Amino acid sequence: MKWYERLLVALIALSALAMWLPWVWHRAAALVLTGLDLHEFIRFMGEVRTGQVRASALPLCAPLLVQALTLAGIAGCSHWTVYGKGTALALAAWLVAVIYPPLEQPKVLATIWLLLLAAFVAMVFIHPAACFRVALLAIAGLAASVPPLVQFLVLLPALDRLYGRPVTVGVGFYLEAAAGLGCLVVGLAAGAVCRPGRHFSAAAAIRQG
């Protein structure tokens, strides 16, 4: 992997990490909301349940889902050992299970796990060129960061009303924004220096016999 690919992967990981950090900060620890807390919290917000505020938990899941998909894809097209690939897939499966607990949503969890496996197998056979990988990673980074940021901004007025005063936006939100901006900048910069070239493809090797 090129340095800019590694940087994009790190930014996507940073995007996922931001979900464990506070998005709503309060001096009282019980009123602090992390990104993962918001994923559950909005389901019980009165304005969301009555339809006054259009919100969904899915955009807030984007960083972890994209991180899981990225891990599966990288494991498929990398030259890691079997143990390395297995560890990456296990971590990807765990990230999805954080959002969709096995005992609560087993069908959804199983479906996403199958998609991760499909991404892994696809990358094994396609083994895309560096330029294509950069494009995929940059798009993945934006797909991880933009949905939760937009969803949070939509929810912010309702959160202000719920808390009875303007809430203090936590570090998780800003870290998510930084990760998304970083993916955009690095993706554009890498696209400027990346040059299409020949690359090994397992599928091509099979066709050639």
Write out the residue range of the structural domain in which residue 92 sits: 3-208
Sheet with 33-34, side-by-side order of all strands: 33-34, 22-25, 168-169
Burial of 23: CB neighbours in 10 Å, binned 0-12, 13-18, 19+: buried
Task: Grade residue 152 by pLDDT with cuts at 50, 70 and 90.
Answer: very high
CB-CB contact of 15 with 66 (8 Å): yes
pLDDT of residue 1: 66
Model confidence at 206: pLDDT above 60: no
pLDDT of residue 122: 87
Mean pLDDT, rounded, for 106-132: 85
Q: pTM here?
A: 0.82
pLDDT of residue 32: 95
pLDDT cut 90: percent of the chain above it: 40
Mean pLDDT, rounded, for 117-142: 84
CB-CB contact of 35 with 148 (8 Å): yes
Task: Grade residue 145 by pLDDT with cuts at 50, 70 and 90.
Answer: very high
pLDDT of residue 158: 93
To the nearest 10°, report the CA torsion of 40, 22, 73, 93. -50
Q: d(Cα 142, Cα 35) in Å, to the nearest integer? A: 17
Model confidence at 199: pLDDT above 50: no
| 23 backbone dihedrals φ, ψ, rounded to 5° | -105, -30
To the nearest 10°, report the CA torsion of 107, 109, 113, 115. 70
pLDDT of residue 198: 43
- 35-70 pLDDT, tens per residue? 999 988 988 888 988 889 888 888 998 999 999 999
Model confidence at 204: pLDDT above 60: no
Domain count, the chain: 1
pLDDT of residue 167: 94
